[in-house]
Amino acid sequence: MLNAFKNWLLEKNYSQLTSEDYSGRIERLCRKEQFSLEHLAQNIKEILPLYEKSGKKASYGKRSHTSVRQALRRFNTFLLESAN
């Protein structure tokens, strides 16, 4: 699924570096939170708000100029577009 996400980002004109960075951030987030990628995908609607500005985990979402938050947002969009 991460490879598909990376390819989707490239198709959306994100750079190779950004697409690899975002997929890596998703992978590290899953490792940090100790849940699977599938769990994240199935529960993104509940997980994403935790990392937004007013969420419980906003400080982690803000890391690296909000790259974690941006990666989660793009992953959510990827999941929504893939479902259609």
Q: What are phi and psi of 56, to 5 degrees?
A: -60, -30
Give 19-78 pLDDT, tens digit per residue: 999 999 999 999 999 999 999 999 999 999 999 999 999 988 887 888 999 999 999 999
| Tokens at 82, concatenated | 């893939």
Q: How far apart are CA 18 and CA 47, in angstroms?
A: 22
**CA dist 8 → 12, 29, 55, 57 (Å):** 6, 19, 27, 27
Owner of token pair 């699977």: 36
The answer to whether 41 and 51 are in contact (CB under 8 A) is no
Regarding predicted confidence, which is higher, 66 or 9? Answer: 9
pTM: 0.92
Q: pLDDT value at position 64?
A: 83
